[in-house]
Amino acid sequence: MATTLHPVDRNYNFTLIKGLYLLPPQGEQLWSSGIRDGALVNGGLMDDNGNFMVLGSNSTLWESFKFPVDTILPTQILDKGMVVSAKQSETSFSIGRYILVFQCDGNLVSTTINLLSDHLNEPYYSTGTAAGVSSSPGVQFVFNESGYFLVSRENGEIYLLTQRITASAKDFYFRATIGFDGVFAHYLHPKSASNDSDAKWTSVWFVPDNIYSASLVSASSGVCGFSSICSLGGGGRPTFACPKGYTLINLNDEYSDCKPNSTLSCGDEPSGVPVEDLYDFEELINVDWPLADYALLEPFTENQCRNSCLHDCMCSVAIFRLGDKCWKKKLPLSNGRVDPGLNGGKALLKVRKDPYIPCQGNKNKREL
């Protein structure tokens, strides 16, 4: 339900009056189900599938399955335009950057959204079920009671996302969640377990296989925050890190943007001080920030690449690879990643040296 915009504490109450309302101990309502005025509410019901329904005299006035947050359950259906939104972090239930949306063209995609706006970036996962020359468009995304994900097409055909489910719905609970890191995963939990170690949710399927290699966006930071570096962790999940010389903007959020520890801009260097005394390079192998280039220099040697970036006040990193190519980049850096496919390519990250202290002469020198 839409309460991810306003996470609440345990003192709040759900009340069923002329609809479903979330009320604080004192003050005005925080959220309501938005049932039309004049509708007669007879009661509420949670069915065996986990769908909470507000019931009228002869119809369902509202149901939670139509308003998913970050998780869907078996028998739940996404119609065109419906969205599943990740939370902000493992501990914060505010809306995050990742969404799963069943688009109006019949395609199911995972993508990032530029928060405080409705702009969707290029998807990093897609079922490819939009209308095509030889295919019928999708009409619904279904999580069926057997634990399979499928897109039903307009012509009655189905597109299966999960090819084989070995666990039985008789013995396991199923759920699917888009994580705060953007990975959409299918989990199962035994209905009965002999010990505590077995009584846990286990991921059995996820997409995409490698989220940061699948994502390349032109108007956002990418999977990681600005100027950070993504690498692949367990279960297809990205891990995030700031490069040396950079720190998190929000120290309480390890997935936030990174900022340089010292200023890298034109006009801030002490006059008369050689840039060689002010800056050095941190060398990173198989690291890149695609789409942050503002200049490509070729043919260039590595030394020419270093010197060009060193003497260019706009250059924050230079990428040298393919033997003679030098890409210069400026802040903020986007789409950061570790990529073994770069075959030893070097990222030359310009960092400030320790504070420059000019020589003041020997004050202990005796005057003759």
Residue ending a domain, among 50, 65, 80, is: 65
- Residues 78 and 174 both lie in one domain: yes
pTM for the model stands at 0.86
What are the C-alpha distances in Å from 250 to residues 89, 224, 256? 13, 14, 6
- Residues 281 and 194 both lie in one domain: no
What is residue 2's predicted lDDT score, i.e. its pLDDT? 41
Look-up: residue for tokens 């900022």? Answer: 259
- Alpha carbon dihedral 55, 56, 59, 60, in 10-degree steps, equals -30
- Residues 79 and 168 both lie in one domain: yes
Q: Is the pLDDT of residue 220 over 90?
A: yes
CB proximity list for 297: less than 8 A, separation 6 or greater: 304, 305, 308, 325, 326, 327, 328
What is the C-alpha separation between 151 and 102, in angstroms, rounded?
A: 10
Q: Is residue 287 part of a domain?
A: yes
What is residue 89's predicted lDDT score, i.e. its pLDDT? 87
Q: Is the pLDDT of residue 318 over 90?
A: yes
Q: Phi/psi at 202 (nearest 5 deg)? A: -125, 135
What is the C-alpha separation between 40 and 63, in angstroms, rounded?
A: 15
pLDDT tens readout for residues 166-187: 889 999 999 999 999 999 999 9
Please tell me the total number of residues recorded for the chain in this structure.
368
- Residues 186 and 293 both lie in one domain: no
Q: Is the pLDDT of residue 37 over 70?
A: no
- Residues 85 and 202 both lie in one domain: yes
pLDDT tens readout for residues 60-115: 999 999 999 999 999 999 999 999 999 988 888 889 999 999 999 999 999 999 98
pLDDT tens readout for residues 221-245: 988 899 999 998 887 888 889 999 9
- Residues 187 and 102 both lie in one domain: yes
Q: Is residue 307 part of a domain?
A: yes
Q: Is the pLDDT of residue 197 over 80?
A: no
Give the model's confidence band at 368: pLDDT under 50 very low, under 70 low, under 90 confident, else very high: very low
Indicate the number of domains in the chain: 3
What is residue 366's predicted lDDT score, i.e. its pLDDT? 41
- Residues 77 and 59 both lie in one domain: no
What are the C-alpha distances in Å from 232 to residues 96, 221, 340? 20, 17, 11
Give the model's confidence band at 353: pLDDT under 50 very low, under 70 low, under 90 confident, else very high: confident
- Residues 282 and 325 both lie in one domain: yes
Q: Is residue 37 part of a domain?
A: yes
Domain CATH number, residue 120: 2.90.10.30
CB proximity list for 182: less than 8 A, separation 6 or greater: 86, 97, 98, 110, 112, 124, 211, 215, 223, 238
Q: Is residue 337 part of a domain?
A: yes
Q: Phi/psi at 321 (nearest 5 deg)? A: -160, 180
Q: Phi/psi at 193 (nearest 5 deg)? A: -140, 145
Give the model's confidence band at 354: pLDDT under 50 very low, under 70 low, under 90 confident, else very high: confident
Residue ending a domain, among 65, 85, 104, is: 65
pLDDT tens readout for residues 237-296: 888 899 999 999 988 888 889 999 987 777 767 777 888 999 999 999 999 999 889 999
What is residue 128's predicted lDDT score, i.e. its pLDDT? 94
pLDDT tens readout for residues 133-166: 668 999 999 999 999 999 999 999 999 998 888 8
The 3-class SS string of 271-321 reads CCCCHHHCEEEEEEECEECCCCEEEEECCCCHHHHHHHHHCCCCCCEEEEE
Residue ending a domain, among 45, 65, 85, is: 65
What is residue 14's predicted lDDT score, i.e. its pLDDT? 75
Q: Phi/psi at 70 (nearest 5 deg)? A: -115, -5
- Residues 150 and 181 both lie in one domain: yes
In this structure, is the dihedral angle defined by the CA atoms of residues 152, 157, 160 and 165, taken in order, positive or negative? positive
- Residues 98 and 124 both lie in one domain: yes
Q: Is the pLDDT of residue 358 over 70?
A: no
Give one word for 200, left, alpha or beta, with left for phi > 0 and alpha for psi -120 to 50: beta
Residue at 231: amino acid letter: S
Domain CATH number, residue 40: 2.90.10
Give one word for 278, left, alpha or beta, with left for phi > 0 and alpha for psi -120 to 50: alpha
Q: Is residue 227 part of a domain?
A: no
Q: Is residue 243 part of a domain?
A: no
Residue 31 domain boundaries: 1-65
CB proximity list for 90: less than 8 A, separation 6 or greater: 180
- Residues 50 and 105 both lie in one domain: no
What is residue 255's predicted lDDT score, i.e. its pLDDT? 81
Domain CATH number, residue 347: 3.50.4
- Higher pLDDT, residue 166 or 360: 166
What is residue 360's predicted lDDT score, i.e. its pLDDT? 58
What is residue 365's predicted lDDT score, i.e. its pLDDT? 44
- Residues 72 and 198 both lie in one domain: yes
Q: Is the pLDDT of residue 3 over 60?
A: no
Q: Is residue 92 part of a domain?
A: yes
What is residue 1's predicted lDDT score, i.e. its pLDDT? 43
Q: Is residue 213 part of a domain?
A: no
Q: Are 331 and 316 in contact (CB under 8 A)?
A: yes
What is residue 22's predicted lDDT score, i.e. its pLDDT? 79
